[in-house]
Chain A
C-alpha cells in the first residue's frame, strides 16, 4: 500500500537550484539514460507498455502503445513533440515541473526519442511562461554541453537535437494536431484524423506527441521498472500523479499522490476548505471535465473512477469552489473562455460557443427567460460530438453538468426577482 503522497516527479523540486544540471546529476539524473542507451529501443517501448503509463495531458491514452504505433524501418524521419502548451483552466502542473526540474523532461525526451528512433524533438511550450522557457532553454544548453544531446550521445551512436519552441497564446494548440500545424508555422487549427500523427505528424512524418508529465515519468520507469511503477495507483491507471488543488482550499498547491486518490483525501492534506465555507462544486481535471459536487468527494481520481462517476480525469486540475460562487456565473466565465479560444475552423464550435455566451450573459444579467435552459441544452447538443475536435466537447461540459446538478440556480436567474444570485459574490 503506497503512502498518501508519493513524490517522484516532485521530489527534486525542494532541492536548492533544482533546475541545474549539477543538482540533477547529483540526484541520480541521467542514470536512466545511460541504462536505456544500452537496451534495445523495442525493450523500452515494451517496458513503457508494461508499466501501464497513460498520457498525463488529459486523454489518458496508453503511452507505450502510442510509441508502438510509429512504423519502424520506414525510411522516414521520426519526431517527438512535447505538448507543453498547458492552458486548460485549472491546470498548473507542467509549468512548475519544467521550471523546477527541466532535466527530468529532457532525459525523458532523449530516452523516448531513442525508443521511437527520432533524431529531432521539439518542446512546444506556451508563450506566456517566460521563466519556464528560460529554464528549459538553459537546460537544453547544459545537456548539449555535457554530451547528452547532439551527435553520438554518450558514445551510443544515437543523435538527437532538441528545440524549445515558444507558442503565442492559443489554447487550441494543446490539441495535438493543432499543435503540429502551429509548430509548422501555421495557424493552430486541428487536422482531420486519420491520418494520425503516428503516421503523418510533424512535416507529414511519423510523430509521437506526449505531455510533459508523461515524458518526465519515463526516466523513473527506466530506473525503477514497470513493476515498481505499478506499486502506485490502480490496476488500469497506475503510477503517481500531480494533483493541482486551487481555489477555496486552505493550502492550495501541487500534491503528487497515487492515481485513484480522492478529493476527500487531498482536501484533508490541504487543510480542508478555506475558512470552513462548505464545498459547492469542483472540476476533477480542468474546466473541460464535467463538474462534480460534494457528493463526489469519494470518487477515486483515476481514468476509470472519474469516468464512472460521469466526468473525466482530465489533467487532475482540481478547481474547488465554495458556496459563495454562483454556478451560472462560473459556467458563463468558462464559456467566454471557450468562445475566445475556439479556432473558428468548424461551425458548431465557432457559432455555438458564440451563442452560448450570449445566452449565459443574458441569464446572469437577470434577463433570462424560461426557455433559455432548453436553448442552452439544445445548442450544446449540436456542439457535442459534432465539432471538429475536443474543444467543442469540452466547451459544453460546464454547461450540461452545471444544469444537471444546479438547475435551480439557472431557473432562479430567469425569475426577475432573483438578480441577487448574479455575480461571483466572492
Chain B
C-alpha cells in the first residue's frame, strides 16, 4: 500500500472493509459493497479506491476496474454533495420525466453524470437520468442520494434542486431525512450506526396502500385460513 492511499483510506475504512468480507462465505462477494464503501470516502471510485479494494481482496486492479466500470452506481468522476437521478424511462418520461430532466439540465447547465459546482462542496449537484426506479405508480419520480421524491413536476423538481443548492435538505416523499451522497453510499455498504431514526422515514404512499385500503373499505379479504392446515405426508424417496 502506498502512502498516498493510506491518507485517503484510514484504519476505519480498512476495518469496515474487513467487516464486509466477514459477511460472506467467500471474501470476493464483498467487492460490490466495498466499492460503495470507497465511494463513501471519496465521493467516487478513484484509482486509489480501485487499488484499495484490490489490496483487500487480493485481486488485480484490472479485475476490480472491470467490475467498477460495469455498474452505473459507481461513479468514476467526483460527485457533488448530492446526486440527483431523474427517471426518464418510458412511463415516467410520458408523465413528465423528460421535461423534468430537461428543466434541471437547463438550470444546472450540465448533462448526464456531470456536476454543477465544485464536486464535494456544499450545494454541488451531480445530475443523471436514470432507468426505471421501481416506483412507477408514483411517477414521475426522481431521487436525491437514492431517496424517493414522488409525483414530481418540472416546477417541484426545480424548486427541490434550488433548495439543495442553497444548502437546504427538503425531506423525501419516501425515505429518511436527507444527508449527502457519501453518507448514502456508506449505508449502501451496510453501515447504519447511530441512524436508527432513519427507519421511521415515510414509506407508504397513498398509491402503495390503495388496494389494501380499498379492500378494507369494501370488506374484501382473502379466504379465511383453516384452523389447522396440515402438512402433506413425507413423500417417499424414489
Contacts and interface: CB of A to CB of B under 8 A. Distances in A.
A130 B188 contact: yes
A223 B32 contact: no
A367 interface: no
Interface stretch (A145-153, A240-248, A352-360): A240-248
The contact size tier of chain A is 35 or more
A321 B94 contact: yes
A113 interface: no
B90 A330 contact: yes
Given A256-B212, A341-B131, A330 B32 contact: no
B208 interface: yes
A291 to B, nearest CB: 11
B204 interface: yes
Nearest to B215: A5
B212 A128 contact: no
Given A184-B29, A225-B225, A252-B137, A3 B131 contact: no
Interface stretch (B117-125, B140-148, B152-160): B140-148
A160 interface: no
Chain A CB within 10 Å, residue with most, of B57, B91, B139:
B91
B232 A43 contact: yes
A230 to B, nearest CB: 10
A293 to B, nearest CB: 16
A92 B192 contact: no
A256 B222 CA distance: 10
Given A14-B216, A19-B199, A341-B131, A163 B208 contact: no
A14 B89 contact: no
Nearest to B93: A333
Interface stretch (B9-17, B19-27, B103-111, B163-171): B19-27
Interface in B1-49: 23-26, 28-33, 35-36
B134 A92 contact: yes
Interface string A131-163: 101110110000000000000000000000001
Interface in A223-263: 223-228, 231-232, 240, 242-247, 251-257
B143 A7 contact: no
A388 B207 CA distance: 37
Contacts of A245: 137
A13 B212 contact: yes
A96 interface: yes
Interface in A328-356: 330, 333-334, 337, 340-341, 343
B220 A3 contact: yes
A269 interface: yes
Given A18-B204, A287-B90, 4 more contacts: A7-B222, A130-B145, A232-B223, A243-B211
A131 B174 contact: yes
Which 5 residue pairs across A and B have the least CB separation, nearest first? Answer: A225-B229, A253-B210, A169-B72, A185-B31, A255-B211
Given A164-B190, A169-B72, A319-B90, A129 B134 contact: yes
Contacts of B36: 127, 166, 168
A43 B91 CA distance: 44
A8 interface: yes
Contacts of B195: 134
B225 to A, nearest CB: 4
A86 B71 contact: no
A95 interface: yes
Nearest to A89: B132
Contacts of B130: 128
Contacts of A8: 222
Contact of A224 (B57, B93, B143, B229): B229
Contacts of B184: 130
Interface in B35-74: 35-36, 57, 66-67, 70-74
Nearest to B39: A168
B58 to A, nearest CB: 12
B193 to A, nearest CB: 11
B89 A89 contact: yes
A37 to B, nearest CB: 12
B120 to A, nearest CB: 20
Interface in A12-30: 13-14, 17-19
Contacts of A6: 215, 220-223
B89 A333 contact: yes
Given A11-B212, A43-B233, A184-B29, A137 B190 contact: yes
Interface stretch (A44-52, A299-307, A372-380): A44-52
A244 B136 contact: yes
Given A43-B234, A183-B29, A337-B89, A13 B209 contact: yes
Given A187-B70, A228-B225, A7 B215 contact: yes
A165 B29 contact: yes
Contacts of A243: 211
User: For B66, B88, B222, which residue has the most chain A Cβ atoms within 10 angstroms?
Assistant: B222
Contacts of A3: 215, 218, 220-222
A292 interface: no
A134 B200 CA distance: 10
A170 B71 contact: yes
B229 to A, nearest CB: 3
A163 B189 CA distance: 12
A95 B188 contact: no
A251 B151 CA distance: 13
A192 interface: no
